[in-house]
Structure 1
């Protein structure tokens, strides 16, 4: 019996394949790309952690440790791993309800599930999640991320935000009178800067054309290579510090960032706790799998590297998520924005992702004291921009071009994600997808009359006769029972694609109805799958004709 089980997925990190034929030219490209992504990851890692209700160093060391492990052990050549915006809402809810210690246990447990998913070759199952469901919960998460940043963006005097949507709305409304104009100004400048910076340096921009006419601006042109979040972070933090603006900073809220490697520490573990965290664990594992494999597919489309190995990628994600909680980290997955930056910066192998982690570690260990001056309003502005880019808002305008089934799944998943919970939204989306698929397939099946004689009825079956379509056999039964005695029935199955056991039972009931009237029933033109089921059940022996 065990010999018929599919083999386990081999553990073959893409790094082993890509390192063959590796040379100095490829190393130079990976070093440049890794350094660039490391700088980009700095503000995002801190912002994701703070928005999740954690200290900024949790996000930084997750980006460093998980980023290194995912690149070194993963199944893609250019994907960058680390904390992701999609996790913010989930992590904040877990911290709010269960505490940070239980978040670490849930993250490690989710890592075990991710590894097992890859080991048992379940990586391809994620592709069965309908795109309407993915777009729905992605847009919903983007709205919740934006909502969670309103407090720091406006500088509101709120000690702690609740985890639910309506609670956040009510809390923000109650404290809207405490807006800090300095924090709001920094946040607005950050968003405007993030929007304008890449457009300012675009090849066809008027600003760039004017600079091209001047020969003494090479140093100024060099700044065009700096990522917009880094420029906003540095300039606005310096401005806030120089002007001594009365705004909340990383230092005032968290006391700064430790300039050292976090100590290895085992979280308190018990099976009772694990049982309590089943739902959060499943949510983290499912979301991590979906995000990482969607990111890997984007990387495949944008780069010239080998196609990703989904099972190896899940195993690497699992290992990373098992390890980071022991260093106080948060959940990690593939990140689309940093992966795209990595590709556009010239990365050719997983070495770039490992360099990204090393660059980030060097910055943290050397320049950690400077982070205490970063205003939280600036980080909120960065996340608002991330949320805007994360959402696929144009899909709402395109809904009129799609079916009602697509609209229903997308809008329902979007609203349930915002109002209730991502887990509920995905579950609802998948259930609705299954229900609507069954309904659509049942609509496809039909039974048409080919000939009607006093003692002979001939029908042709089209599509799939399964549990959702068996009701369409009832008119044939009624036709037989209402006809003369001794009526024979012939079914033409040349267009019958598939048959399940419920459909087989319907055919057997139809056969009994024909026998009661003293007639015979036959089936001709059977395709491979229906024929196999009919023969295995022994039903073919009871039929007058079966071919």
Structure 2
């Protein structure tokens, strides 16, 4: 086992040495990212159906742990928009206590993924699926913010997408004009200041302006404190959970959903970060750290955490290059919570809704969505199905069906890519001058065919059907397999069926160009001996010629 694979990046960098100049950059970047994370952590918690302090606790505890023990140099951890859909659904069905236990279980699952080296496997998750469910999550986040964005006086928002919009429609005439102005103003400020400067976080500017407006003009809009009370200015004491089998069984599916999404998003964020800094993260160590972070987050009453792509990108753009910036980000949030938590209660909910609308817009990645739609019908089908199922049903169903659909369509494309080429068949195709220029005159009783691509269950039957009637015209079949990279059990069985069928009709089957690995498999299968597997076409023709002389 390579121990470096499970060594946190921070430990490696400290051993190698970090310059004072880089430390100062990390300190600056960490403070900026901490300020950026403040409104997002609160907004994600509220949108998830829990109190705002849980978002802060998650960003502090999980963010600190991920930076110290993670496998990425620049990853920033904490609550993210992608979890809103899952967390809200779990809270609706199992309550906050159920969410905490599910997060606790999910933490162990993610750690296990890391120790089992699943990090590399999660990288093979189809990109179209990720874009589809991310765009679906973006639509759900936007939909969940309409109540606060318009200041609608209504009860609990239904969790179903269609039911939610139907309820909005019934209360639309009671929209609060002040809330609408604050929400739209927040969106405008974020978009404007993002273009003007990146030094000061635009969501922070929007929060300060909207909070001052509500406070000084006493605008009749909901604030954090009016709905949730004062945000505590202390961290809760950790609580240890003992999960019995019945609870584990009930919360297994939600926990698995948290673990899968957390693992995928954290590694996706790490890959994006690698591309921005030219680095390489340790995927399995990152999963172990993400798992530990979720366990600790649950113990402190937090919500699920993962790598946050937007905050990680902000960290890089502000000069962060080591995990020190992530640690400073968590400590910055802790200081703000200890010293200024009550002030956060003055933030209008319409402002947070406006921030999340911008987050949803950025998550949707419409240019990528449109590009995939234009690419090919298979990818477009996976994208649209995953998107639709995420919006109308839930993320777990979308991922399950999307993965199955992507797998089936991939099999279809691989089967279509596998071809059986007729290289020489004097009985049906006439002479092939180019082929004969290379190998000399081919006797008419010999047919030469070549398989291009993997011989697997998707293409095996087509291969068998194309050659099964060959015995009526020839006494020898040379099957070139130099371009066959793999052969599965179904392909092996159909090849065996073909060999036995043709040899029963007196046709000798010779294979050429078989790779060593496939040759071993064929010898173990026992239906063809080693002398009928020749290294190339020339050797196969020579063997057939010698066989003819002997007979």
Structure 1 length normalisation: TM-score?
Answer: 0.91
**1:343 corresponds to:** 316
SS of the equivalent of 1:539 reads: coil
Q: 3-state DSSP class of the match of 2:233?
A: coil
CA distance in 1, matches of 2:309, 2:27: 20
Separation in 1 of the partners of 2:313 and 2:189?
Answer: 20
2: CA distance, partners of 1:497 / 1:370: 64
Task: Tell whether 2:455 aligns with 1:459.
Answer: no
Matched with 1:105 is 101
Counterpart of 1:153 (choices 149, 155, 162) is: 149
Q: Which moved more, 1:428-437 or 1:242-251?
A: 428-437
Q: CA–CA distance in 1 between the matches of 2:195 and 2:182?
A: 20
SS of alignment partner, residue 160 of structure 1: coil
2:254 is the counterpart of 1:280: yes
> For the Cα contact (< 8 Å) 2:468–2:502, is it kept in 1?
no
1:25-59 alpha-carbon deviations (Å, 9 max, x no partner): 22211111111111111100000000000000000
For structure 1, which runs of at least 5 residues remain unmatched after alignment?
1-5, 202-223
1:108 Cα deviation from its structure 2 partner: 1.0
Q: Name the SS of the counterpart of 1:161 in structure 2.
A: coil
CA distance in 1, matches of 2:92, 2:41: 20
Unaligned 5+ runs, structure 2: 428-443, 536-551
Q: Tell me if structure 2 keeps the 8 A contact 1:488–1:514.
A: no
Match of 2:505 in 1: 517
Q: For 1:412-431, what aligned pairs fall within 5 Å after superposition?
A: 412-431=385-404
**1-structure distance, mates of 2:426, 2:456:** 25
- Residue in 2 aligned with 1:221? none
Alignment match of 1:310 (pick from 268, 280, 283): 283
Label 1:435 to 1:28 Cα distance change in 2 as closer, same or farther (>3 A): same
Rounded Cα–Cα distance in structure 1 between residues aligned with 2:507 and 2:132: 54
Work out whether residues 128 and 372 of structure 2, in 8 Å CA contact, stay in contact via their aligned partners in 1: no
1:404: which partner in 2?
Answer: 377
**2:250 aligned with 1:260:** no
Q: For the residues of structure 1 that align with 2:123 and 2:387, how far apart are their CA atoms?
A: 19
Residue 461 of structure 2 corresponds to residue 471 of structure 1: yes
Partner Cα separation in structure 2 for residue 191 and residue 33 of structure 1: 24
Rounded to whole Å, the distance in 2 between the matches of 1:538 and 1:7 is: 39
Note if 1:128 corresponds to 2:118.
no
Equivalent pair of 1:493/1:524 in contact (CA under 8 Å): yes
Q: Is the 8 A contact 1:63 1:83 kept in 2?
A: yes
Tell me if the contact between 1:250 and 1:373 (Cα under 8 Å) persists in the aligned partners. Answer: yes
Q: Secondary structure at the match of 2:345?
A: helix
Distance 1:352 1:91 in 2: 28
Q: In the TM superposition, what whole-angstrom CA distance separates every residue of 1:228-259 from its partner, at most 9, and x where no partner exists?
A: 11111111101101111111111111111011
Q: Does structure 1 retain, via aligned residues, the 8 Å contact 2:374–2:380?
A: no
Bigger drift between 444-453 and 11-20 goes to: 444-453
Given that 1:53 and 1:92 are in contact with CA atoms closer than 8 Å, whether structure 2 keeps it comes out as yes
Match of 2:32 in 1: 36
Match of 1:91 among 81, 87, 91: 87
Q: State whether structure 2 residue 10 is matched by structure 1 residue 15.
A: yes
For 1:352 and 1:98, the matched residues in 2 are separated by: 36
- Say which of 220, 226, 239 aligns to 2:200: 226
Return closer, same or farther for 1:186/1:503 CA change in 2, 3 Å cut-off: same
2:469 counterpart SS class: helix
> 1:295 is matched with which residue: 255, 261, 269?
269
Shift of 1:446: 1.8
Moved more, 526-535 or 418-427: 526-535
Instruction: Give the alignment partner of residue 434 of structure 1, picking from 399, 407, 413.
Output: 407
Preserved CA contact (<8 Å) 2:451 2:481 = yes
Q: 1:75 aligns with which of 66, 71, 77?
A: 71
State the match for 1:526 in structure 2: 514
Per-residue deviation, 1:531: 1.4
TM-score (norm 2): 0.90
What is the Cα deviation at residue 475 of structure 1?
3.2
* Structure-2 separation of matches of 1:10 and 1:307: 11
CA distance, structure 2, for counterparts of residue 403 and residue 470 of structure 1: 25
Change in Cα spacing, 1:167 to 1:401, as seen in structure 2 (3 Å) is closer
Task: Decide whether the 8 Å contact of 2:186 with 2:210 is kept in 1.
Answer: yes
Q: How many angstroms apart in 2 are the aligned matches of 1:178 and 1:105? A: 38
Q: 1:182: Cα distance to partner?
A: 1.0
* Structure 2 counterparts to residues 370-409 of structure 1, below 5 A: 370-399=343-372, 401-409=374-382
- Does the 8 A contact of 1:34 with 1:355 survive in 2? yes
Asked if 1:167 is matched to 2:155, the reply is: no
How many Å apart are 1:130 and its aligned residue? Answer: 1.2
Distance 1:343 1:384, change over 3 A: same
Q: 1:48 aligns with which of 22, 44, 47?
A: 44
Q: Tell me by how many angstroms 1:489 deviates.
A: 2.4
